[in-house]
Chain A
Amino acid sequence: MGDSPPVFGRPSEASIREPMLRARGGAATAAVRAEGASTGWWTLRAASVVGVRHRLAGQAADDSFAWAHDGSRVAVAVADGIGSVSGAGRAAERAAVAAVESALRARPEDAVAAANEAAKGGGATTLVLAVLTGAGQADLVRVGDSSAFVVEAEGAWRELFPPPDEERSGTDTAALPSPEPPVEAASVGLSGGAVLVLATDGVTDPWRDGPTTVAPALVAGILGRPAPLELAALADFSRHGCHDDRTILCVWGRPEGPAR
């Protein structure tokens, strides 16, 4: 929430307006949440910033992220609460936490079932989950329009799930809880300094829609292995009409094993 967010493409006048202070708030629902740390096997950076729309309305973000690791394996998740449903932010948090906890003990598909159960009780949420092994293999599942990218060390990037239809007219998305969640799966091997990126549509839409502005800026920022607050500042970019909550989580592997 700096005074001068980075501008990617046409600027957003709304993004530089002073936010409205919520009537109640606290650390758990702060407008900026960030984390960054490493194990011997993995380095994680994650940041979540409240979108312009929520910020100006004095509302908290509906996005969430979570991680869990047991040494060589790490599970990471990003979730986007469906804002038209009451309790969306809490549903996103419950689903992300349940997914990563379950993913260390079970297959990713089963972790979705745990997240689906956790999402019940009010609200709805998307989910993208990745489980990474020490050998650099990443298995992913998702429900809804949160997505994942691989950014290679030389700057090439690709999305691991099918992007939305170019001609789409709406933003309807699958979500948890659901009697039969429509689960999509993907897998990728990370090598040579490649970075796995999970993100909500507040990031992925402008990433795809800004191939000459947002995408190169985010890729360059990610490859610079930013500090958590730097990643948050990067995610808080200004772009005309892009006012959604934004969450981005990056994982770098160390396939050769823990540093000595």
Chain B
Amino acid sequence: MSGATVSSEERYSVFPFYICLDVSASMAGAPIDGVNEQLPLLRARVGEDPAVAEVIRLAVVTFSDVAHSLLPLSDLSLVEAIPRVSTQGRTSYAAAFERLREMIEEDYLKGRAHGDRWYRPAVIFISDGRPTDEPERWRAAHQRLVEPTWKRRPNILAFGFGEADPEVLAAVTEAKPNRAFIAGPGTEPAKIVPELLTGLIQSIVNSSASVYEGDARLQLPEVPSMTAIPVDHLD
């Protein structure tokens, strides 16, 4: 018999990750080919390790003019294949942030109904360009995503290359230190994308282990071609 204040529902802890990927036209060619080569490796690496797969849930969101859920939040051990990505359109950060907010809230409520207990979700934001929407619009959408009163607000890591703007990426990560990264000048996207996704795979695996270390947190990936964008420490 349990105490009067204890829930009678069974709960299982999960750590949700949302990879938010720029698929605007400028990503065509080597960058998107790299994504399509690496995502199956991510599925294999995470999905085939039960100690990781039992905890990690992964979603892939793509954005250009609009944002789509390429892979709904999933247990990767149950996913047979991640759909291939194709490029189109411009770079609407607003569409990405709006879709993320909707998905996270929907996934949380759905998960709760199935007995999931969530650790704070992580968003991994990857872009090769500046936002093409009006600054007011993407900033408002971003503000809703990171609103302090919203309990599901995610931790965000941002990675940029090509035409991505370091100041914008720093804003996406709320100017938190070591959350926004940019590729060095002249670094080929064909080199960066595989390196970045390989680093992210290890980051996700390491993050799943941190669940048991008293401070579940997003572990930073190692991406040698990228450096942290310096920001003021606001915390």
Residues on A facing B (Cβ under 8 Å): 9-10, 12-14, 17, 51-54, 56-57, 62, 80, 82-84, 88, 126, 144-145, 154-159, 163, 166-167, 169-173, 175, 201-202, 205, 208-213, 215, 239-245
Shortest Cβ-Cβ A-B pairs, 7 listed: A83-B213, A169-B120, A209-B11, A14-B50, A13-B50, A14-B51, A158-B3
Near A by CB (< 8 A), chain B positions 172-220 give 209-217
On chain A, the residues within 8 Å of B217 by CB distance are: 84, 170
B6 A211 Cβ-Cβ under 8 A? yes
Q: Do A211 and B8 form a contact, CB below 8 Å, given A159-B3, A241-B13?
A: yes
B13 A84 Cβ-Cβ under 8 A? no
B50 A82 Cβ-Cβ under 8 A? no
Interface on chain A toward B: helix, strand, loop, or mixed SS?
A: loop
On chain A, the residues within 8 Å of B211 by CB distance are: 171, 243-244
Residues on B facing A (Cβ under 8 Å): 1-3, 5-14, 49-51, 54-55, 117-121, 151-152, 209-217
B2 A172 Cβ-Cβ under 8 A? no
B50 A209 Cβ-Cβ under 8 A? no
Q: How many A-B residue pairs have CB under 8 A?
A: 117
Residue of A with least CB distance to B54: A241
On chain A, the residues within 8 Å of B216 by CB distance are: 170-172
CA distance A259 to B103 in the complex (A): 63
Partner of A170, one of B3, B49, B120: B120
Q: Do A209 and B13 form a contact, CB below 8 Å, given A157-B3, A172-B215?
A: yes
Q: 10 A–B contact pairs at CB < 8 A?
A: A14-B50, A80-B214, A84-B217, A163-B6, A169-B152, A173-B214, A202-B212, A209-B11, A215-B6, A245-B212
B51 A144 Cβ-Cβ under 8 A? no
CA distance A244 to B1 in the complex (A): 25
A212 B10 Cβ-Cβ under 8 A? yes
Min Cβ gap A214→B in Å is 9
B214 A84 Cβ-Cβ under 8 A? yes
Interface on chain B toward A: helix, strand, loop, or mixed SS?
A: loop
Residue of A with least CB distance to B6: A211
Residue of B with least CB distance to A150: B3
Q: Do A83 and B2 form a contact, CB below 8 Å, given A13-B50, A56-B51, A209-B12?
A: no
A243 B55 Cβ-Cβ under 8 A? yes
A82 B54 Cβ-Cβ under 8 A? no
On chain A, the residues within 8 Å of B1 by CB distance are: 154-157
CA distance A158 to B5 in the complex (A): 9
Indicate the member of B118, B121, B213, B216 with the most A CB atoms within 10 Å.
B213
Q: Do A84 and B54 form a contact, CB below 8 Å, given A169-B119, A170-B119, A210-B10?
A: no
A212 B3 Cβ-Cβ under 8 A? no
